[in-house]
Each structure stands twice: as C-alpha cells, then as structure tokens.
Structure 1
Amino acid sequence: MKKFIKYFALALLAAVIIIFAVNYPKLDLISGFSAKSIASGHFLDGRQQQLIESGDNDIDMVRLAKNEIDEQGNFATASFYGLKKRKAIYREGLGVTLINDDFDATKPYDVPKRHFAKNTLPFPYGNNEPKDTVFNNIDYKKLNQAVASAFDKNSEKIKRSRSVLVIYKDHIVAEKYVTGFNKDSKILGWSMTKSITATMFGVLQKQGKMDINKPAPIADWQRDKRAKITINDLLHMNSGLEWEENYEKICDATTMLFQAEDMGKVQLEKPAIFEPNAHWNYSSGTTNLLSRILRNQFKTHQEYLDFWYSAFIDKIGMNSMIVESDMAGNFVGSSYGWATTRDWAKFGLLYLHKGNWNGEQLFDESWAKYVATPTHGSNNRYGAHFWLNAGGKYPDAPKDLYSCNGFQGQMIFIIPSKDLVIVRMGLTDDNAFDFNDFLKGILGSFKK
C-alpha cells in the first residue's frame, strides 16, 4: 500500500510538472491580458476592479490572475500567482498600452488633437438627447421584449449582454443597459475596430491620397513575391501571407497583442505562402499592418494620430472613442477601440448612409458597397474588414445585412433594406448567444 501511495504521489508530481511546463509559456498572455483589461476598463471607463474581474476577465485562466491598480502612477499590474508579472500603463489620449521591461514610460509622446464640435443637435448628429419619435409600423411591445430577451435574468451568466441599441431611420427606438452600464459607458469593441481602420483607407481614397489597388508601399516586400500584394488584398484578408489566429493557444495573434512592441511589424515580416487573392485568412496582424501603412502616409507621427480623429472619428461625433496604441505609438487598429454604445451606433449609421454624415460625404458611396461585397474564398462571409450575411449566416435576417464583429459578441449590424442599425455589446459570442434569434425578434417587431 505504501509503495502504491509513493508511486501515485510521484505520478501526480510528474503530471503537475508536465502541466506547468506546458502552460508556463501561456502565463505571459494570461497576465498580459489581465493587466491590459484591468487598466483599460478602469482608466478609460472608470470601472472598479471587481467589476472588471467579474466581467471582462471572467475567462478561463485569466480569472486566476492577481491584479493591482496604481491610481497615482496610472497603471495596473497582473501576475499568475506571482509569476510573469505584466504592466499596462494609461496615457491620456492614447489609452492603455501593455509594456515590457525595456519600455521607457518617461519618454515624451505625441497625443491626438481632438475636436469636439459643439452643437445643439439631437442624436445622432449631435450629442444631445434624441427626439422622441413614434413609428406606426413598429410594435413597441414586441420590440422591447426582443431587446429584453438579450439580457440575463437575475444572477444568470449566460447571454451576458451589456447593451442593446436599435436605430431606425436615424431614431433610437430601443435602448437597454445591464446594471453597471449606461449610455456613457465606454465599451471595448475588440475586432469591430478593424472596420474603423479600414474606413481610414476609404477616407484617404475619397481625398485622392490613396489608391487601394496599387501594391502595398512596403520596401521590404519589393524583393520577393510579396511585391504583388495590394492594399485591396490586405483589406480583404486575402494577401496570402502566413498567419495563425487562434486565441486558445500561443499563436501569431496572441503573441502580437500581448508581447510585440510594434504590432504592425509582425504581419509585415511573415512570408507569402499563397498568391494574393487565392486564400482568405482572417488576420488581426493584417489590420495592424494596415495601421502601420497609414502611419507611413504622413510626414509626422502627430499628423497620423490626428488624422484618425479629425478626418473621421470626431467628424461624426464619436467623441467618446479612444483607439489605443502599441509601444511603437501606432494605433492597434485590429482590436483596441473603445466607445459608448451610441457612438458605435454612429459608425453603423455612417455606413447605412453610404458615407454621408449630415450632408458631408466622408467616403465615396461606392466604398460602402465595396466593404459589403464578398471577398474571394470567404464563402460570402466577409467583405473588406466587415462581415456579411450574403451567405445566410443569419437565416432570418436580410441578405444585405453586414456587420462589424468583435470578440465576445460585440456587434454593429447594418441593414440597409430595413433602414436599421442594431448594436449589441456583451461578453458572449455565437456559441452562447443566438444572434439569429436576436435579430429575428427585433425584425419581427416591424410591421410589413
């Protein structure tokens, strides 16, 4: 019996050692995710640590991280039982950046110059409260029931919606928030930020400063077959470049987001393994490369920072939006855009109106069609940094629906045929939240 116990103990110890050895490399990602999440949620949206830990950080392994907030130093740290301690710093104007030990936090840095236009207009063209409007073709009881059904009852953690907003003909017809969140709460859009980044190219094209069909202006690519890759290929995620995006493991995407100093370089340095326009492959690295390409369109870093806001974001009154930067100072265009639910909805409305914002054309009408046209190899699921319903992913929604999608079910649904924009922010994706049923309920409240 003693010999059995001895061998059992040794086997158990060996198993623990193996499990630790396998998971140790992941600790950088776990503590990095936690530190960044805690710092951003707290310093950008004023959330208390407990709310962030029970919400944003309620993810396997991440919930085990030990977090601390330094109010005076404007940073947060996280570690996994004292191991792999990571630090994320807040800088006003740039949001939060996850840093390494080599980062000099005392070095001066440029900050975007923001312009918040003051007007007395109601939402969406101003920031005053929307006008009350009743539409005869809406069954408001059904609509409110459909919206309410997106939220958990009592203390459940199943659907985990934080906000739902429905806009019809430029009017808010339904709006609901979970306890702890309201119309002024900034919420991370994750990959919805990709659609923001793509829009910058639409704006540049309208201004005559960008031809997306020309080869990407990257000197290192001119010596090999990557020289044929165009901006258009990058926007469609079919450049042919090597990339792995799997958040269940250490991969290109997780290494980039939680370890890279210059996130745009990660995809830039990858080899081409397919011809352009021959293989669709979703890549956050591609979007950060596009952000880096945008940087190189301007003579100074200040001009690059300002352009995102002056030419587009603040132009449509998305004044709550912050796009966070990496250690190199470039915007993390793949993942780190924060805004209120109403401001995310304004972005959807800009596309619903084909680039026209209260009379000003920010990008060509054709750009809205461009981003919503299926890219080769995507099975009608993807356009140019937007997701599509052309292939019938949501069978009870119109085929012309297209959307900005983000991790854990951040969604902006744009439905031109119904004159609708629907926003849902939360902590669950398709595996736990039935988006088709959600859309069916809302669309069913509109009388034909």
Structure 2
Amino acid sequence: MKKFFKLVGFASFIGVFYLGFTTYPKLDLISGFSAKSIASGHFIDHRSQSTIEKGDNDIKMIDYAENSINDAGKFAVASVYGLKERKAIYREGLGATLITNDFDVSKPYEVPKRTKLNNNLPFPYGNKDPLDTVFTNVDYAKLNVAVANAFDKKGELSKRSRSVLVIYKDKIIAEKYDTGFNKDSKILGWSMTKSVTATLFGILQKQGKYDIYKPAPIPEWQKDDRKIITTNDLLHMNSGLEWEENYSTICDATNMLFQAKDMTRIQLEKPTAFKPNAHWNYSSGTTNLLSGILRKQFKSHQEYLDFWYSALIDKIGMNSMVVETDMAGNFVGSSYGWATTRDWSKLGLLYLHKGNWNGTTLFDESWAKYVATPTAGSNGKYGAHFWLNAGGRFPDVPRDMYFCSGYQGQMVAIIPSLDLVIVRMGLVEDPKFDFNGMLSGIIASIKHTK
C-alpha cells in the first residue's frame, strides 16, 4: 500500500511539473493579452472591467488572468496568480500599448493629427443621421428576421454577435446591436485592420509614390535570396518567408503581439522557406512589416502617423477609428484597429465604389480588382489582404463577395453584384457562427433586379 501511495505521489508530482512546464511560458501571453484587452476596451470604448472580462476576455486560459485598472494613470495590469505581471498603457491618439518594464513612460511622443468631416451630409458621406429610405424590393420583415437570427436569444451564449449592419445602395436598411452596444460603440476589428493597411499602398500607388511590383525596400534583404521579394508578394501573403500563426500556443504571431517592442521587424528577420509566389501562408507579421515599410516612405514619424488618417481613415469619415501602436511607435496594422460598426462599413463602401468616395478617387479602380483577385495557392480564399468567396467558402453567397475578416468573427462583406455591404462584429467566428446563413438570409430578403 505504501508503495502504491508513493507511485501516486510521484505521478502527481510529474503531472504538476508537466503542467507548470507547459503552462508557465504561456503566462506572458495570458497576462499580456488580458492587460492589453482591458486597457483598450476601457479607455477606447469606456467599457467596465467586468464587461471586458465577461466578453472580450472570456477565452480559454485568458480568463485565468487577474486584472486591475488605474484610471488616473491610464493603464491596466494583469497577472496569473500573481505571476508574469504585464502592463498596458493608454495614450490619447495612440490607443493602448503593452509595454515592458524598461519602457520609458515619461518620454514625449507624437500623435496623429485628426480631422472630422465638416459638411451637412447624412451617413455615409457626412456625420448627420442616415436618411430614412424605403426600397420597394426589400422585404423588411424577412430582412429583420435574418438579422435577428444572428443574435443570441436571452440567456444564450452561442452566436455572440455584437452588431450587424446592412447597407444597400449606400443606405442603411438594417442595424442591430446587442445589449450594451450601440452605433457609437468602438469595436476591435482585429485582422480587419490588415485591409486598412493594404489600402494605404493602393493610395500611394494612385499618387505615383510607390510601386508594389518592385522588390520590397528592405536593406537587410539585399544580400540574400530575400532581395527578390516584392511588396506585391507581401500583400498576397506569399513571400515565402517563414512564419507560424497559431494563437492556441506560443508562436511567431503571439511573440510579436505580446513580446515585441518593434513589431515591424519580426517577419523582416525571418529566412525564406519557399520561393516567392510559391506558397501562400497567412502572416500577421507580414502586415506589420508592411506598416514598417510605410513608415520609411515619409521623412518624419509625424508624417507617417498623419498619413493613415489624412489619406484614408478621416478622409472617408471613419472618425471613430483608432489604430494602436507598438512600443516603437509603429501602427499595429495587423490587428489593432478600433471603430464603430458604421465606420467599419465605410471601408467596405469605399471598395464597393472602387476607390471613389463621394466624387473623390482615393485609389484606382484597378486596385479594387487587385485585392479581390485570388492569390496563388490560396484556393480562391484570399486576395491581397482581403478574404474572398471566389472558392465558394460560403456556398449560398455570390462568388464575387470579398471581405475584411478578423479574429472572433469580425467581417465587412463587400458584394459588388448586389450593391451590398454587410458588417458583423462579434465574439464567435466561422464555423461556430453561421456566416453563410446570415449572409444568404439577408440577400434573400432583397429582390435583385438587373
């Protein structure tokens, strides 16, 4: 019997040791994610700590974190049972940034200059309320049912939609929010921010200031086989560079988002695993590398900060949007864009109109076609920093649909053939959330005429 208890004790020790060995390295990820999420949600969208913990942080293992907010100091702190404490600070104009202990919080910093649309136009081209428009070919009862079906009934936590917005012919025909959210709520788009980042290259190209087909202007690559990688390759996620993106474990992507001081360099420092245009591999590191390339197109850091807003975000009235920066001052173009649901829809409308915003052309019509053309190796599911339905991912939705997509099911869907933009923000993604059912239900409510 004594021998039995010794064996049980030894087995328990091994179990605890194994659990600690495998879990402890993840604590940085857990506390880092939690601190950043708490700081962003609280200071950008004014959510309470409990609301963020029950919503944004209700993720396996992330819910182990113990959090606190310092409103006076504008920061949030998180740890796991007192271990691996992480801190995220909030700076007006730059959002929340996860910092290391050696980060100098007293150092002066620059912020983007912002402008707001100053006209008397209704949404989407102005800041006045949208016009009430009734389309005779829209079955509003059917539409409202399709939208309502995207939300949980009272007491349920399966669909977890926060908002759904439907825009037909530039007019809002349906708009619904979950309890605690409204048209002014700023919601994190996660990887939908990638589409914002890519759009800036389309704008620079239109201005004649950048050629995406030339080798990427990265000095560190000029003496090895990476020197032939073009910005076009990077935009299509087929540069051939090594990268692992798996948020269930410690990987390149999590190390970048929760450890790196300069997120633009993580992908830059990776070697090649394939020749360019030979292997499609989704990489948030690639997008942040592109953010770094953008930064080098300007003479000053202030110009880089301003460009994102003056050339695109504020230009189309996405005045609620905040793109957060890393410790080195780079916009985290892969993941950290916040905006209201209505403002997210404006990015979709810009593409629906092929770069024309109320008479002003931001990028060439060919750019809209470019981002929506399947990239090699993606089986019709990816273009240039936009996801596609060309491969029939959503079988009951037109194949010409392309969309911005973010973690936990953020979507801005653009359907040119139907003159539709559909936005869904939430906490559950495909296949747990039935995007095909939601999209096809909305489409079926509209009688489309040629």
Runs of 4+ in 1 over 3 A off after TM superposition: none
Pairs aligned (count): 448
The aligned counterpart of 1:56 is 56
2:152 maps to 1:131: no
The residue identity in structure 1 corresponding to 2:363 is F
Whole-angstrom CA distance in 2 between matches of 1:5 and 1:441: 61
Q: Any idea what SS the aligned residue of 1:267 has?
A: coil
The aligned counterpart of 2:369 is 369
**1:216-243 per-position Cα deviation (integer Å, ceiling 9, x unaligned):** 0001100011000000000000000010
**1:77-109 per-position Cα deviation (integer Å, ceiling 9, x unaligned):** 000000000000000000000000111111000
Whole-angstrom CA distance in 2 between matches of 1:325 and 1:185: 20
The residue identity in structure 2 corresponding to 1:309 is Y
Whole-angstrom CA distance in 2 between matches of 1:440 and 1:170: 19
Structure 1 residues 232-311: aligned runs within 5 Å: 232-311=232-311
The aligned counterpart of 2:382 is 382
Q: CA deviation at 1:272?
A: 1.1
2:333 maps to 1:333: yes
The residue identity in structure 2 corresponding to 1:366 is S
Q: CA deviation at 1:127?
A: 1.3
The residue identity in structure 1 corresponding to 2:228 is K
The aligned counterpart of 1:358 is 358
Q: Any idea what SS the aligned residue of 1:129 has?
A: coil
Q: Is the 8 A contact 2:117 2:127 kept in 1?
A: no
Structure 1 residues 142-181: aligned runs within 5 Å: 142-181=142-181
The residue identity in structure 1 corresponding to 2:344 is W
2:422 maps to 1:433: no
Q: Any idea what SS the aligned residue of 1:214 has?
A: coil
Whole-angstrom CA distance in 2 between matches of 1:11 and 1:219: 54
The aligned counterpart of 2:205 is 205
**1:155-212 per-position Cα deviation (integer Å, ceiling 9, x unaligned):** 1110000000000000000000000000000000000000000000000001110000
TM-score norm. by structure 2 comes to: 0.99
Q: Any idea what SS the aligned residue of 1:265 has?
A: coil
TM-score norm. by structure 1 comes to: 0.99
78-87 or 111-120: bigger deviation: 111-120
Structure 1's unaligned 5+ residue stretches are none
Q: Any idea what SS the aligned residue of 1:50 has?
A: helix
The residue identity in structure 2 corresponding to 1:67 is N
Whole-angstrom CA distance in 1 between matches of 2:324 and 2:92: 10
2:13 maps to 1:17: no
Structure 1 residues 28-177: aligned runs within 5 Å: 28-177=28-177
Whole-angstrom CA distance in 2 between matches of 1:298 and 1:447: 48
Q: Any idea what SS the aligned residue of 1:210 has?
A: coil
Whole-angstrom CA distance in 1 between matches of 2:444 and 2:431: 23
Q: CA deviation at 1:5?
A: 3.1
Q: Any idea what SS the aligned residue of 1:19 has?
A: helix
Q: CA deviation at 1:56?
A: 0.3
**1:115-149 per-position Cα deviation (integer Å, ceiling 9, x unaligned):** 11221111000111100000011100000000000
Q: CA deviation at 1:16?
A: 1.1
Whole-angstrom CA distance in 2 between matches of 1:102 and 1:429: 37
Whole-angstrom CA distance in 2 between matches of 1:431 and 1:258: 27
Q: Any idea what SS the aligned residue of 1:315 has?
A: coil
Whole-angstrom CA distance in 2 between matches of 1:285 and 1:117: 33
Q: CA deviation at 1:273?
A: 1.3
The aligned counterpart of 1:412 is 412
CA RMSD of aligned residues (A): 0.7
Whole-angstrom CA distance in 1 between matches of 2:156 and 2:20: 32
Whole-angstrom CA distance in 1 between matches of 2:146 and 2:12: 51
Q: Any idea what SS the aligned residue of 1:166 has?
A: strand
Whole-angstrom CA distance in 1 between matches of 2:21 and 2:279: 35
Q: Is the 8 A contact 2:295 2:301 kept in 1?
A: yes
**1:270-298 per-position Cα deviation (integer Å, ceiling 9, x unaligned):** 00111111111000000000000000000
119-128 or 410-419: bigger deviation: 119-128
Q: CA deviation at 1:13?
A: 2.4
5-14 or 240-249: bigger deviation: 5-14
The aligned counterpart of 2:403 is 403
**1:309-366 per-position Cα deviation (integer Å, ceiling 9, x unaligned):** 0011000000000000000000000000000000000110000000000000000011
**1:231-281 per-position Cα deviation (integer Å, ceiling 9, x unaligned):** 000000000001000111100000000000000100000001111111110
Q: CA deviation at 1:2?
A: 4.5
Whole-angstrom CA distance in 2 between matches of 1:169 and 1:295: 36
